[in-house]
Amino acid sequence: METREEAAFAWVEQVLGGRILSRRLQSRWRNQWFLEVERDGAIERVVLRGFRNPGYTAEDTSGARAMLTLEAQALEALQDVPVATPRYLGSNPDLGWMLMEWLDGDSELTQIADEDRRFAIYQGYVEELATLHAYPLDKIRLPDAMPRPASSRAFREELIARHEGFYRSLALPDAEPVLELGLQWVKHNDISSERPLGLGLGDVGPNQFLFVEDRFHALVDFEYAVIGDPLMEMGMMRGRDVTYHTGRMTEHMRHYGACYERLTGIPLDLKALQYWTIAGPALWNVYTVMGTQRADPAMIDLAFLFAYEVQQKRCILEGIAEYYGFRLTRPELPKPTNTLLSPLAQALAAQLDGHFREQAGEDPYAASFARYSASIARTLALGDGTALMLETANREELGALLGHRIGDWRHGLRELEALIAADWEKDLERRINMLYRCEVRREYLYEPMQRATGVSHGWPMSRFDV
């Protein structure tokens, strides 16, 4: 019986009229192949991109397939825009694949040690984004399936209603006071300025583009392409810089604003950018907490979800603090210590990272799964000697905020969540600081998962008021 991949390879050869000479599977969760195809005596390099792990969208694959189809249509539409992208070569919704040019370049900007080199490359990237955002939608053959709001205000209102509605429908077992605060803040604050709607990529920032040597080369990753307020993804970029830290982000924001103004005549609205800096993680994190609260052991990216989610909650809090000029106080963190259980947790990590990775052989998916699982074991090892001290500090601070001693931590968080829902502005600075310190302590525990999944650790969001 023909496998899904074999059917896809046959489709590629049919589309290109050639023969596949070599193929390499991308490591990690995405089913993506790098292919070399011989056609008319020449070698053509292409990328065969599959749909995302269906655990991100639904139990079946229909939602993931629909996302891939829209991603393919977005790349096809981008062929009309004067920005650098791979050539679109086709898609097959029935099989669940899209085909595009395989461009030269590297995406791992955060691996460059030279700060000035990173900065120069990134300047070219934000210039390209400004060009994309400023390009008139009427000149682009947009896919019919891509929603086109009436205005940037309508886009914002629809986005808030959709994401909050989804979040309220989850009925999560544990309280989420940070998300509740973020959602309440987004609903009760507004943006006074309007910008023309633009075509955006939805997920921009460090490691989301290709560069060659010391220059930007091409935009990649189009699965969250959206027609909306351009400042949404620029605000969210500031949070991505926490997760994949490259530095000097406020300078990049100002450079983007200058480029966009030169193209459109519209200056950068700093308050609108700060609004989206908060709204981005507050709205999009509603999908992440579903994965962390209902942790599916079959999901390869579970360690990444925990590593990412804690940082994005911190970005909500740091963003609100910046908006009002609050100063945040970092907590003291303990030094790791060993307990009676520490050797067992460390042995489990070593087994997963050694024996089971060896068993994976040349399967990059299985090898990555073993490495990520080992990072969860290392997190448990770290927490075994430090979690009690961190939890004690959290309980004391939450009790002081609520005005009474905390017995059950989960009940205390549920009480705080209800207070925030009833009056989000009350004791705002105290609440922000307390929740911020709790997230910093949690991120301390999650460092092994962050290191294993390539996530930066401990970087604050760059602020305009510092």
The answer to whether the CB of 260 falls within 8 A of the CB of 133 is yes
> Which residues, including other chains, have CB under 8 Å from residue 458's CB and lie 6 or more apart?
443, 447
DSSP for 81-121? SSS--PPEEEEETTTTEEEEE----B--GGG---HHHHHHH
Which pLDDT value is given to residue 318? 98
- pTM of structure: 0.95
The full set of domain ranges for the chain reads 4-101, 105-293, 295-466
Euclidean distance between CA atoms 304 and 297, whole angstroms: 13
Q: Which of 158, 144, 2, 149 is nearest to 69 (CA)?
A: 144
Euclidean distance between CA atoms 98 and 32, whole angstroms: 10
- 36: three-class secondary structure by DSSP: strand
Which pLDDT value is given to residue 62? 83
DSSP code at position 362: T
The answer to whether the CB of 462 falls within 8 A of the CB of 273 is no
What is the β-pairing status of strands 19-25 and 32-39?
Answer: antiparallel
Rg, C-alpha atoms of the chain? 23
The answer to whether the CB of 251 falls within 8 A of the CB of 282 is no
Topology annotation, domain 4-101: Phosphorylase Kinase; domain 1 (3.30.200)
Euclidean distance between CA atoms 303 and 363, whole angstroms: 19
The answer to whether the CB of 28 falls within 8 A of the CB of 360 is no
Which pLDDT value is given to residue 143? 93
Per-residue pLDDT of the chain (466 residues; tens, 9 = 90+): 457 899 999 999 999 999 999 999 886 667 899 999 999 999 999 999 998 765 454 567 888 889 999 999 999 999 999 999 999 999 999 999 999 999 999 999 999 999 999 999 999 999 999 999 999 999 999 999 999 999 999 999 999 999 999 999 999 999 999 999 999 999 999 999 999 999 999 999 999 999 999 999 999 999 999 999 999 999 999 999 999 999 999 999 999 999 999 999 999 999 999 999 999 999 999 999 999 999 988 888 899 999 999 999 999 999 999 999 999 999 999 998 888 888 898 899 999 988 888 888 878 888 889 999 999 999 999 998 899 999 999 999 999 999 999 989 999 999 999 999 999 999 999 999 999 999 999 999 999 999 999 999 999 999 998 7
Q: Any idea which architecture 105-293 has in CATH?
A: Alpha-Beta Complex (3.90)
Q: Is 211 left (phi over 0), alpha (psi -120 to 50) or beta?
A: beta
Query: Which residue is listed with tokens 């269906």?
Result: 54
